[in-house]
Structure 1
Amino acid sequence: MSKRVVQKGGLWFEEFEIGTVYEHRPGRTVTETDTVLFTTLTMNPAAIHLDEAFSAQQAPFHARLVNSMFTLATLVGLSVAQLTQGTVVANLGFTEVRFPHPLFHGDTLYAETLVRDKRESETRPGEGVVTLEQTGRNQDGEVVAFAVRQVLVRLRPA
């Protein structure tokens, strides 16, 4: 008797359906360590991320902000297991990125992805371009990040 093997992974190009929304759970609670580590690893010395006394004096938030590039990277990362793990060829780029509300230490980032569009590649047989609209919200439902990106994804092997 043969065993059935199931491996969880991302979606093949054919499995992406325009208009489908994916909610990525669990979310990710952001810590002070995340901000300090990411900010220093990326050589970003902005006081608004690192200096509590300085940030407390800065209107309108009066607090250190989570580095927005960390927010963007985490937004994308939260979607990987469900959408592109093992099927993505490349991240082709972002056409929109916005941060309408800051993320603070202790906030939890939740992500969702809308499949906006898809088309088979004209130059790369066996692959297709999928346009994803990704939204990050904090625990109160406020949008903290929004991005539209295109990914190159493999078609299902024959």
Structure 2
Amino acid sequence: MRGLYFEEFEIGKVYRHAFRRTVTEMDNVLFTSLTMNVAPIHLDAEYARTTIHGRPLVNSLFTVALIGAFHVPELTMGTTLGNLGYEEVRFPAPVFHGDTLRGETTIVDKRRSESRDDSGIVWFEHRGYNQDDVLVMSCKRAGLMLRTPAAEVAAR
């Protein structure tokens, strides 16, 4: 299984990813602890009861990481050279323990690399939704993607 090469990305195409995942309290506590985010809104149930949400929030960076991973098997597995940047990261609704998340990706733009012959830049928009189809995360991301290897083009 491989992702898409640069040439295979179509601007405007929307991918609705098959993967879904229910977020657990363990996910939140482990991620939050590993990243040393000691904010009580993520880790302290008694404190969280006093907030506008009334319960612990899932760490928003975990949400970005999870939604950002749903596309990998179908779009970038083995064909990415790395992330170039994230922008316009938004969290329009909170994520709580027990929410089941899914993702969608739109190909926003692409261009050949000006400094590398083997790659191009693809701009993605990732969106995450909960079990009620409420948008919980969106972001735009630029990725450096491999172009189709010459040997593979010649074999076609």
TM-score range, shorter chain: over 0.9
- Alignment partner, residue 12 of structure 2: 19
1:157 maps to amino acid: P
TM-score, length of structure 2 as denominator length: 0.95
State the Cα deviation string for residues 73-124 of structure 1 (Å, max 9, x = none).
Answer: 0011111111100000010001210011010000011000000000000111
Matched, 1:30 2:23: yes
Q: TM-score, normalised by structure 1?
A: 0.93
Structure 1, gaps ≥5 residues long: 1-7
Question: Which runs of at least 4 in structure 1 moved beyond 3 Å after TM superposition?
Answer: none
In the TM superposition, residue 153 of structure 1 has moved relative to its aligned partner by 0.2
Counterpart of 1:10 in 2: which secondary structure?
coil
Question: Which residue of structure 2 lines up, in the alignment, with residue 101 of structure 1?
Answer: 93
Unaligned runs of 5+ in 2: 151-156
Instruction: Tell me the amino acid that sits aligned with residue 75 of structure 2.
Output: L
Deviations 1:40-59 (A, max 9, x none): 00000010000001101111
The corresponding residue for 1:5 is: none
Residues matched between the structures, number: 150
Aligned twin of 2:141: 149
Amino acid paired to 1:45: V
